Amino acid sequence: MNDTSWIDRTAYPFAPHYFEIDGTRMHYVDKGQGEPIVLLHGTPTWSFLYRDAIKVLAPRYRCIAPDHLGFGLSDKPEGAAYHPREHARRLRALIEQLGLRDITLVVQDFGGPIGLSYAIEQPDNVRALVVANTWLWSLRGELLPELAGRVAGSQLGRFFFRQFNIEVRTLFRAVWADKRKLSRTIYQHYLKPFSRPGDTQGQWVFARELLFASDWYESLWARRDRIKDIPALLLWGEQDMLFKARHLDRWQALFTNVQTVTFPNAGHYVQEEAHERFGPLIGKFLARRLEEVS
């Protein structure tokens, strides 16, 4: 998008970078030096979600936070391939273009299957994982994800996404545990990237793909042993409407070297509701990892 005057540069003081792929431009943050941390958002968020974590981590690490195509400051062409598998392909291309080695992946929401698919394909290039309120398996049979997928997959659902930006205006608010933390200023930074009706195409596809990409999620989960020995930090909001304690249990059972921190008063977006702890916890986790291998 061309007009970025609405961005609070005190909150988000990062120079823009762009990656060209498939005739489109993906925006990403590239801040700091050192071992790379790739921070991946879901829907309807963008790299703004990680602004506080980047400020904490950039003095010691190189922080790369892309905006998926269709989100944030990236292009939002109608009719583009917005399926999670395609986002994963673009992520891999970005990582290869930047020559990133020994990556720490930070994933949440749709950033989970998108980012962890890279870890499954290239486990030798991933030194650590930070997993927050996400999944890597079929959500068939789970009430809210299946309902959201079926509604979004209908013509009526597409209409509401396109005409009313329903995800940001309604669903985004609903998954916060303490809505008082969602200030008007913060909310505007999630609303403004979708200023035109056609800009919500990526959101709509993601909502639909909660259900309709189930076979892809299951194919990833079937290969989960490829990442089970990667050191992992789980940062989990306990008041999430979508991902519950049983989902956290799955992650804890997967990893052989895992640390878990839960946030009893946070919902789906722990990066926002627990922002004062999110970045520092990642920093401590990585510092401990460096001590273990030195």
Q: Give the phi and the psi of residue 108 in degrees, each rounded to 5.
A: -155, 150
pLDDT above 80: residue 294: no
- The SS3 assignment for 174 reads helix
Whether 81 shows a pLDDT value over 90: the answer reads yes
Residue 21, helix vs strand vs coil: strand
- CA–CA dist 286, 41 (Å, integer): 20
228-248 burial: b if 16+ Cβ within 10 Å, else e? eebbbbbbbbbbbebbeeebb
- The answer to whether position 53 is within a domain reads yes
What 3-state DSSP class applies to 38? strand
pLDDT category of residue 1 using cuts at 50, 70 and 90: low
Q: How confident is the model at residue 261 (pLDDT cuts 50, 70, 90)?
A: very high
Position 30 confidence tier, pLDDT thresholds 50, 70, 90: very high
User: Which residues form the domain of 129?
Assistant: 17-138+215-293
pLDDT range class, residue 20, cuts 50, 70, 90: very high
Is 258 domain-assigned?
Answer: yes
Single out the catalytic residue among 41, 68, 240, 275. Answer: 240
Whether 178 is in a domain gets the answer: no
**What CA–CA distance (Å, rounded) separates 168 from 191?**
6
pLDDT digits 0-9 by tens, 165-213: 999 999 899 999 999 999 999 999 999 999 998 899 999 999 999 999 9
Sign of CA dihedral 281, 282, 283, 286: positive
Confidence of residue 160 (pLDDT cuts 50, 70, 90): confident
Q: Could you give the C-alpha distances from 1 to 17, 67, 139, in angstroms and in order?
A: 13, 12, 33
User: How many structural domains is the chain composed of?
Assistant: 1
pLDDT at 162: 85
Per-residue confidence (pLDDT) for residue 293, from 0 to 100: 66
Report yes or no on 168 lying in a domain.
no
Q: Counting Cβ atoms within 10 Å, is residue 122 exposed (0-12), middle (13-18) or buried (19+)? A: middle
Strands in 232-237's sheet, in edge-to-edge order, are 17-21, 24-31, 62-66, 36-40, 103-108, 126-132, 232-237, 258-263
**3 a catalytic residue:** no
Whether residue 182 is contained in a domain is answered as no
- pLDDT for res 197: 86
In a domain, 275, yes or no: yes
Catalytic status, residue 268: yes
Is residue 290 classed exposed, middle or buried when 0-12, 13-18 and 19+ CB atoms within 10 A define those classes?
exposed
Average pLDDT (87-95) is 98
Q: Is 1 a domain residue?
A: no
Q: What percent of the chain has pLDDT over 70?
A: 98
Q: Are 41 and 71 in contact (CB under 8 A)?
A: yes
Q: Is the pLDDT of residue 283 over 60?
A: yes
User: What does the angle CA 28 – CA 30 – CA 31 come to, to the nearest 5 degrees?
Assistant: 140
Mean pLDDT of 98-126: 98
Predicted structure pTM score: 0.97
Round to whole Å and give the CA distance between 164 and 136: 29
Among the listed ranges 133-137, 168-172, 214-218, which one has the minimum average pLDDT value? 168-172
Q: Residue 81 maps to which CATH number?
A: 3.40.50.1820
Task: Answer yes or no: is 170 within a domain.
Answer: no
Q: What is the mean pLDDT of the chain?
A: 95
* Closest to 76 (Cα-Cα) out of 68, 86, 66, 65: 68
Summarised one tens digit per residue, pLDDT across range 59-77 is 999 999 999 999 999 999 9
Residue 32 tokens, joined: 């700091």
The one catalytic residue in 52, 75, 109, 199 is 109
Q: What is the DSSP string of 6-17?
A: TS-TTT-----E
CA gap 267, 273 in Å, rounded: 7
pLDDT-based confidence at residue 112 (cuts at 50, 70, 90): very high
Catalytic residue among 41, 87, 189, 268: 268
Specify the pLDDT at position 285.
Answer: 98
